[in-house]
């Protein structure tokens, strides 16, 4: 396996014809395929230009007098995109190694948020200090789910696994409803309006960038998400544990033959995937209000991000998260009067059309 962080090469490994076809190794393409690819590109560009020109007036306004709105959309898009990336990373990791589409990812995030909320409101924790606990807690929950439930049906049909995670999400949501009632909760960040000094540079919050604002909680969430993504990347690339995970993803039978405990690796991976949303939950809590269904709204976005970035590709998830965050925000101000998901799905369809395996995905 090369040094690419793609953990989803399994499946391709059984087929020596396709295993070499990565996007850089396009030399194996036939002329017909190349032609088709070019046609796709041209069509894609035409569609994109047409869609955008439909709203040319709005674009003119945004590059002219309303530039501050465009800058704000960019700042917000990047900040929220980082969080989308972190949520999606857990999902893509689970898919890449276990080939399970985890519908409970959003519900697990809500569990993370409520555990952080309980620590803040009961014991007076700082909201960000709870990250350590939510990561550990969600890791344990994820490991239990995999160990007790999913490991038993790993060889069964896809629908069974899918149904199980779907059921789990409904179950978790209702347990939270029972425990915490549907009353919306919020935590306060007392220092959100102060100033921070780093290396002699004092930053006033909310931070002003070219007329746009970046609030402290959103900035922390972004950098926190990026740091955790970096850690996960290093774990996968630079540690023996990462090698174990990647080899299980690549070829579970082969991994078992060289003495890797595949079942235990699955447990570990699901735990890690859940821990990602545990962290994300604690990071977004200071700027979102919390209800038992809050995490669900991240579910749809996370699926889009994962498919966009390439199923099973960890770096793709971060990239996809940023793209979706930006598209959502900038698309929202170009196509006014629509859901800001419209732009997201336009980009989504375009990317799938041009690169059916996602931005960083490999051909299967």
Partner 1 sequence: MRRTKRSTAIASAFVALAMIAAACGGDDEAAPAPEPTPAPAPAPEEPGDPIAIGALHPLTGGLAQDGIAMDEAAQMAVDDINAAGGIKSLAGTELTLISADSQGSPDVGATEAQRMIDEGVVAIIGAYQSAVSINVAALAERSGVPFVIDVTVADAVITDESRYTFRIQPNATDNGVFGVQALVEMAELAGVEISTVAHLYDQSGFGTSIHDALAAEAEVLGIEIVEKITYNPFDVSDLTTELARVEASGADALINTGYYGDGVLVARGLNEVRPDNLKVVFGVASGAFDVDEFPSDVDGAGEYFFNSNYHYDATSARVQDIRARYEERFGKPMRTAGVLAYQAIEVIAQGLESAGSADRDALRDGISGVVIDDPLVATSGPIQFDESGENINARPIVMQVLDGNIRQVYPVNFKEADFVFGQVPWRD
Q: Is the peptide bond before 198 cis (omega within 30 degrees of 0)?
A: no
- Greatest Cα pair distance, the chain, in angstroms, is 65
Distance CA 245, CA 49 (A): 42
* Binding span for partner 1 by CB under 8 A among 164-172, 224-232, 237-245, 249-257: 164-172
Nearer to partner 1, 173 or 250 (CB): 173
Q: Which of 34, 35, 41, 152 binds partner 1 (CB under 8 A)?
A: 152
Single out the residue of 11, 44, 206, 254 in contact with partner 1 (rule: CB under 8 A): 206
Q: How far is the CB of 291 from partner 1 (least distance, A)?
A: 6
Distant-in-sequence, close-in-space partners of 114: CB < 8 Å, separation ≥ 6: 176, 179, 180, 290, 292
Told to check if 287 binds partner 1 by CB under 8 A, we report: yes
332: contact with partner 1 by CB under 8 A: yes
Task: Rule CB under 8 A: say whether 144 interacts with partner 1.
Answer: no
Does residue 294 interact with partner 1 by CB under 8 A?
Answer: yes
Task: Among 38, 60, 121, 181, indicate the residue that binds partner 1 (CB under 8 A).
Answer: 181
d(CA 222, CA 207): 14
H helices within the chain, ranges in order? 31-53, 56-63, 67-98, 105-123, 130-144, 158-180, 216-238, 240-250, 252-257, 262-284, 296-309, 314-334, 341-354
Residue 64 is a binding residue for partner 1 (CB under 8 A): no
Report d(CA 80, CA 92) in Å as an integer. 18
Report the sign of the C-alpha dihedral through residues 289, 290, 294, 298, in that order: positive
Query: What does the angle CA 76 – CA 326 – CA 221 come to, to the nearest 5 degrees?
Result: 45
* Three-state SS at 284: helix
Q: Determine which residue in the list 94, 131, 248, 301 makes contact with partner 1, applying CB under 8 A.
A: 301
Answer yes or no whether residue 96 interacts with partner 1 by CB under 8 A.
no
**By C-beta, is 29 or 346 nearer to partner 1?**
346
| Site for partner 1 contains 38 (CB under 8 A) | no
> Residue 204: which H helix or E strand, with range?
strand 201-204
Is position 293 an interface residue for partner 1 (rule: CB under 8 A)? yes
- Judged by beta carbon, residue 84 or residue 125, the one nearer partner 1 is 84
Is 110 near partner 1 (CB under 8 A)?
Answer: no
Regarding 179 and contact with partner 1 (CB under 8 A), the answer is no
Q: State both tokens at 337.
A: 């009067």
Choices 129-137, 154-162, 229-237, 353-361 (CB under 8 A): range interacting with partner 1: 154-162
Residue 147 as a binder of partner 1 (CB under 8 A): the answer is: no
In the complex, the smallest distance separating the C-beta of residue 68 from partner 1, rounded to whole angstroms, is 6
Q: Answer yes or no whether residue 194 interacts with partner 1 by CB under 8 A.
A: no
Q: How many Cα atoms within 13 Å fall on the side-chain side of residue 93?
A: 31
Q: How far apart are CA 155 and CA 102, in angstroms?
A: 16
30 near partner 1, judged by CB under 8 A: no
**Contact between 121 and partner 1 per CB under 8 A:** no
Alpha-carbon distance of 34 to 228, in angstroms, equals 38
Figure out which of the listed residues 24, 183, 197, 240 binds partner 1, where binding follows CB under 8 A.
183
Summarize as ranges the residues that interact with partner 1 (CB under 8 A). 65-66, 68-69, 72-73, 75-77, 79-80, 149, 152-153, 155-156, 160, 163-164, 166-168, 170-171, 173-175, 177-178, 181-186, 188, 206, 212-213, 215, 218, 284, 287-289, 291-294, 296-298, 300-301, 329, 332-333, 336-341
């Amino acid at each position: 396996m090369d040094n690419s962080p793609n953990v989803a090469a399994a499946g391709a490994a059984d087929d020596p014809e396709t295993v070499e076809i990565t996007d850089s190794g396009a030399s194996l393409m036939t002329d017909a395929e190349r032609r088709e690819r070019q046609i796709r590109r041209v069509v894609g560009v035409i569609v994109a230009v047409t869609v955008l020109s439909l709203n040319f007036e709005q674009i003119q306004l945004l590059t002219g007098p309303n530039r501050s709105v465009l800058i704000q959309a960019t700042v917000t898009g990047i900040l929220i995109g980082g969080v989308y990336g972190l949520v999606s990373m857990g999902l893509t990791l689970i898919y890449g190694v276990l080939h399970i589409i985890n519908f409970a990812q959003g519900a697990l995030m809500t569990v993370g948020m409520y555990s952080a909320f309980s620590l803040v409101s009961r014991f007076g924790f700082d909201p960000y200090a709870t990250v350590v606990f939510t990561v550990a807690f969600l890791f344990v929950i994820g490991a239990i789910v995999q160990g007790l439930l999913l490991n038993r049906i790993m060889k069964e049909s896809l629908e069974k696994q899918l149904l199980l995670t779907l059921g789990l999400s409904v179950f978790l949501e209702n347990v939270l409803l029972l425990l915490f009632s549907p009353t919306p909760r919020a935590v306060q960040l007392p220092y959100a309006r102060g100033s921070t000094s780093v290396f002699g540079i004092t930053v006033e919050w909310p931070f002003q960038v070219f007329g746009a604002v970046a609030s402290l909680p959103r900035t922390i969430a972004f950098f926190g998400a990026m740091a955790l993504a970096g850690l996960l990347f290093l774990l996968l690339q630079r540690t023996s544990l990462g090698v174990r995970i990647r080899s299980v993803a690549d070829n579970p039978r082969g991994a078992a033959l060289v003495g890797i405990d595949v079942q235990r690796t699955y447990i570990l991976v699901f735990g890690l995937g859940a821990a990602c949303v545990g962290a994300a939950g604690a990071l977004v809590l200071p700027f979102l209000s919390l209800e038992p269904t809050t995490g669900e709204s991240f579910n749809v976005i996370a699926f889009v991000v994962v498919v966009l970035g390439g199923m099973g590709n960890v770096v793709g998830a971060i990239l996809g998260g940023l793209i979706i965050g930006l598209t959502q925000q900038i698309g929202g101000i170009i196509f006014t009067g629509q859901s800001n998901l419209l732009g997201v799905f336009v980009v989504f369809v375009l990317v799938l059309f041009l690169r059916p395996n996602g931005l960083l995905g490999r051909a299967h």
